[in-house]
Amino acid sequence: MLLGVLIAAPAVAQLEVWEDYEVSDAIWSLTMVKLDPGTQDIYLEGLKSTWVAANEVAKSLGHVEYYSIHANQAVAPDAFDLLLVIKFPSTEMMAPSRERYNAFMEAWGQENMDASNEKVLELYNEIREIQGEYLTREITIK
Protein backbone atom coordinates (compact mmCIF):
# COMPACT_ATOMS: atom_id res chain seq x y z
CA MET A 1 0.00 0.00 0.00
CA LEU A 2 2.75 2.45 0.95
CA LEU A 3 4.59 1.62 -2.27
CA GLY A 4 1.45 2.42 -4.26
CA VAL A 5 1.13 5.81 -2.55
CA LEU A 6 4.78 6.61 -3.20
CA ILE A 7 4.52 5.68 -6.86
CA ALA A 8 1.27 7.62 -7.31
CA ALA A 9 2.52 10.73 -5.49
CA PRO A 10 3.42 13.56 -7.86
CA ALA A 11 7.08 14.36 -8.14
CA VAL A 12 8.06 17.60 -6.45
CA ALA A 13 10.16 19.77 -8.72
CA GLN A 14 13.55 20.41 -7.20
CA LEU A 15 15.26 21.95 -10.21
CA GLU A 16 16.37 25.56 -10.08
CA VAL A 17 17.15 27.76 -13.06
CA TRP A 18 20.89 28.51 -13.43
CA GLU A 19 21.70 25.79 -10.89
CA ASP A 20 20.18 22.75 -12.59
CA TYR A 21 19.38 24.13 -16.03
CA GLU A 22 20.06 27.17 -18.15
CA VAL A 23 17.87 29.11 -20.53
CA SER A 24 19.58 30.46 -23.62
CA ASP A 25 19.99 34.12 -24.40
CA ALA A 26 19.36 33.16 -28.03
CA ILE A 27 15.78 33.04 -29.22
CA TRP A 28 14.33 31.07 -32.13
CA SER A 29 11.51 32.31 -34.32
CA LEU A 30 9.49 29.38 -35.72
CA THR A 31 6.92 29.88 -38.48
CA MET A 32 4.66 27.00 -39.55
CA VAL A 33 3.58 27.18 -43.19
CA LYS A 34 0.80 25.15 -44.83
CA LEU A 35 1.07 25.02 -48.64
CA ASP A 36 -1.46 24.25 -51.32
CA PRO A 37 -0.85 20.78 -52.82
CA GLY A 38 1.91 20.73 -55.43
CA THR A 39 3.29 24.19 -54.61
CA GLN A 40 6.26 23.38 -52.36
CA ASP A 41 8.90 23.78 -55.10
CA ILE A 42 7.33 27.05 -56.26
CA TYR A 43 7.31 28.34 -52.68
CA LEU A 44 10.90 27.25 -52.04
CA GLU A 45 12.01 28.97 -55.25
CA GLY A 46 10.34 32.16 -54.03
CA LEU A 47 11.92 31.85 -50.59
CA LYS A 48 15.35 31.60 -52.18
CA SER A 49 15.09 35.12 -53.59
CA THR A 50 13.23 36.64 -50.63
CA TRP A 51 13.40 35.00 -47.20
CA VAL A 52 16.74 33.20 -47.71
CA ALA A 53 18.40 36.17 -49.40
CA ALA A 54 17.18 38.60 -46.70
CA ASN A 55 18.37 36.26 -43.94
CA GLU A 56 21.79 36.01 -45.60
CA VAL A 57 22.04 39.79 -45.37
CA ALA A 58 20.84 39.78 -41.74
CA LYS A 59 23.34 37.04 -40.92
CA SER A 60 26.22 38.95 -42.53
CA LEU A 61 25.29 41.96 -40.38
CA GLY A 62 25.16 39.85 -37.18
CA HIS A 63 21.42 40.39 -36.75
CA VAL A 64 20.71 36.64 -36.86
CA GLU A 65 22.93 33.64 -36.09
CA TYR A 66 21.38 31.22 -38.55
CA TYR A 67 18.20 30.29 -40.35
CA SER A 68 16.83 27.06 -41.79
CA ILE A 69 13.86 25.50 -43.53
CA HIS A 70 12.49 22.16 -42.32
CA ALA A 71 10.00 19.95 -44.17
CA ASN A 72 7.40 18.17 -42.04
CA GLN A 73 7.66 14.41 -42.50
CA ALA A 74 4.74 13.50 -40.22
CA VAL A 75 1.89 13.67 -42.69
CA ALA A 76 -1.40 14.46 -41.00
CA PRO A 77 -4.54 16.33 -42.01
CA ASP A 78 -4.07 20.10 -41.69
CA ALA A 79 -0.44 19.71 -40.53
CA PHE A 80 2.09 22.33 -41.54
CA ASP A 81 4.34 21.55 -44.51
CA LEU A 82 7.37 23.74 -43.78
CA LEU A 83 8.92 25.18 -40.66
CA LEU A 84 10.90 28.39 -41.16
CA VAL A 85 13.45 28.89 -38.37
CA ILE A 86 15.52 31.96 -37.51
CA LYS A 87 17.91 32.04 -34.55
CA PHE A 88 18.52 35.48 -33.05
CA PRO A 89 21.45 35.99 -30.65
CA SER A 90 19.12 37.59 -28.08
CA THR A 91 15.68 39.10 -27.59
CA GLU A 92 17.28 42.51 -28.04
CA MET A 93 18.16 41.62 -31.64
CA MET A 94 14.44 41.12 -32.37
CA ALA A 95 13.45 44.50 -30.98
CA PRO A 96 12.97 47.50 -33.27
CA SER A 97 16.21 49.34 -33.95
CA ARG A 98 16.65 52.21 -36.38
CA GLU A 99 20.37 51.46 -36.57
CA ARG A 100 19.87 47.78 -37.49
CA TYR A 101 17.04 48.65 -39.91
CA ASN A 102 19.17 51.23 -41.72
CA ALA A 103 22.12 48.84 -41.92
CA PHE A 104 19.87 46.10 -43.29
CA MET A 105 18.21 48.38 -45.85
CA GLU A 106 21.57 49.70 -47.00
CA ALA A 107 22.77 46.13 -47.58
CA TRP A 108 19.45 44.69 -48.88
CA GLY A 109 18.25 47.69 -50.87
CA GLN A 110 14.82 49.15 -51.53
CA GLU A 111 14.57 47.35 -54.88
CA ASN A 112 14.92 43.96 -53.17
CA MET A 113 12.44 45.01 -50.48
CA ASP A 114 9.89 46.04 -53.11
CA ALA A 115 10.39 42.81 -55.08
CA SER A 116 9.99 40.73 -51.89
CA ASN A 117 6.81 42.56 -50.91
CA GLU A 118 5.41 42.04 -54.41
CA LYS A 119 6.18 38.30 -54.26
CA VAL A 120 4.41 38.03 -50.90
CA LEU A 121 1.32 39.79 -52.22
CA GLU A 122 1.16 38.10 -55.62
CA LEU A 123 2.39 34.58 -54.91
CA TYR A 124 2.79 33.62 -51.27
CA ASN A 125 -0.63 34.79 -50.16
CA GLU A 126 -2.17 32.65 -52.92
CA ILE A 127 -0.43 29.35 -52.11
CA ARG A 128 0.29 29.37 -48.39
CA GLU A 129 -1.27 29.78 -44.99
CA ILE A 130 0.77 30.75 -41.94
CA GLN A 131 -0.48 28.31 -39.30
CA GLY A 132 1.44 29.68 -36.37
CA GLU A 133 4.44 31.65 -35.22
CA TYR A 134 6.33 30.86 -32.05
CA LEU A 135 9.30 32.23 -30.14
CA THR A 136 11.31 29.66 -28.19
CA ARG A 137 14.45 29.47 -26.07
CA GLU A 138 16.67 26.47 -25.61
CA ILE A 139 16.77 24.86 -22.17
CA THR A 140 19.94 22.99 -21.27
CA ILE A 141 19.67 20.66 -18.29
CA LYS A 142 22.96 20.24 -16.44
Domain ranges of the chain: 17-141
Supply the pLDDT for residue 90.
Answer: 97
pLDDT tens series, the chain, 142 aa:
555 545 555 666 788 888 899 999 999 999 999 999 999 999 999 999 999 999 999 999 999 999 999 999 998 888 999 999 999 999 999 999 999 999 999 999 999 899 888 888 888 989 999 999 999 999 999 9
User: DSSP letters along 69-137, please?
Assistant: EEE--S--TT--SEEEEEEESSGGGGS--HHHHHHHHHHH-HHHHHHHHHHIIIIIHHHEEEEEEEEE-
Res 77: pLDDT: 86
pLDDT for residue 122? 86
Overall CATH class of domain 17-141? alpha beta
Residues facing residue 17 across a β-bridge: 21
- Distance between CA 91 and CA 29 in Å, rounded? 10
The one-letter amino acid at 114: D
Specify the 3-state DSSP secondary structure of 8. Answer: helix
Confidence (pLDDT) at 121: 85
